[in-house]
Amino acid sequence: MEHLIERAARDLVNSSHAVALTGAGMSTESGIPDFRGPQGVWTKDPEAERRAYQGYQRFMEDPKGWWEEVLSMPRTGLLGDLETRMPNSGHYALVELEELGILKSVLTQNVDGLHEKAGNKNVFEYHGSFAKLRCVSCGLRFRRDAFDIEKLLQEKQLPPRCPECRGVIKSDGVFFGEPIPSDVAQHSLEEALKCDLMLICGTSAVVYPFASLPRVARQRRAVTIIEVNAEPTPLTHEKTSDYLIQGKTGDILPRIVEEVKKIRE
């Protein structure tokens, strides 16, 4: 394990455009469950996965009914109360790598906002954010509290409408079957094509199209792909990644940063 941590630190120091790709495993140490790990929401409740697949269709068919249903449910969803969750040492390690000028961007599948909360500046939320809303027509994003949704419910004005184009507003979080917003999809693809190092943290790498990004990067020879994950993934088995450092991101990422600093001294 120690030699892999040193190897990752050397690879990071020698890179000129490193990007991090992150998933739900990054936030389990902040008390947010993942979906497919041993304690994952869907591992324990496969029925919840089936329901999740129907969300986008329900919204598109009846956005007013969808909003009414959301407002009738408890505020804390499948992942608990995300507003109260705090970043962990893994998130802060990625902030340090950005501040050291090594990490150029974080592409995350997470909707919990913890990378930004930790202090990373260049974050792309591939699956959106629980704290934002988005217009399905023009793609503009808004803070969740920019709309008084309860008032719209009482005044029978649901669904909320975009102040710019009058399009229907939904939560920013991307549903299964919903296209990835074009701005983040394009930027992420550009980063996958440009990077010379990809640090993949806490993802099972089975949710597409995000999971295609490492495969796109792998098509170029001059790229190093490192996984930090609790267990091997399809990227490990098919050798898309050069090596896996198996363990917790909250433990391993800070150790990599310590090695990077030693090399830089």
Contacts with ligand NAD by CB under 6 A lie at 23-25, 27-29, 32, 34-37, 40, 79, 109-112, 127, 202-204, 207, 229-231, 233, 248-250
User: With respect to ligand NAD, which residue has the nearer C-beta, 34 or 259?
Assistant: 34
Asked whether the bond before 33 is cis by omega within 30 degrees of 0, the reply is no
Catalytic (active site) residue 127: yes
Pull the structure tokens for residue 87.
């970043």
* 127 neighbors 143 (Cβ within 8 angstroms): no
Chain position whose Cβ is nearest to ligand NAD: 25
Nearest distance in Å: CB 37, ligand NAD: 4
Nearest distance in Å: CB 170, ligand NAD: 15
* 103 neighbors 121 (Cβ within 8 angstroms): no
Secondary structure of residue 209 in the 3-state scheme: coil
Nearest distance in Å: CB 35, ligand NAD: 4
Amino acid letter, 72: S
User: With respect to ligand NAD, which residue has the nearer C-beta, 125 or 259?
Assistant: 125
Q: Which residue in this structure is represented by tokens 């469950």?
A: 33
Task: Say how far residue 172 (Cα) sits from the centre of its chain.
Answer: 13
Residue tagged active-site, from 3, 17, 91, 127: 127
Nearest distance in Å: CB 50, ligand NAD: 15
Nearest distance in Å: CB 155, ligand NAD: 32
Q: Which residues contact 143 (CB under 8 A, 6 or more apart)?
A: 131, 132, 133
CB atoms within 10 A of CB 207: 16
User: With respect to ligand NAD, which residue has the nearer C-beta, 153 or 207?
Assistant: 207
- Among 12, 1, 4, smallest CA distance to 257 is for 12
In the chain, what is the straight-line distance between the N-terminal and C-terminal CA atoms, in Å? 23
User: With respect to ligand NAD, which residue has the nearer C-beta, 162 or 174?
Assistant: 174
User: With respect to ligand NAD, which residue has the nearer C-beta, 59 or 158?
Assistant: 59
Q: Which residues contact 33 (CB under 8 A, 6 or more apart)?
A: 24, 39, 40, 41, 79, 80
Which residues are known catalytic residues?
A: 127
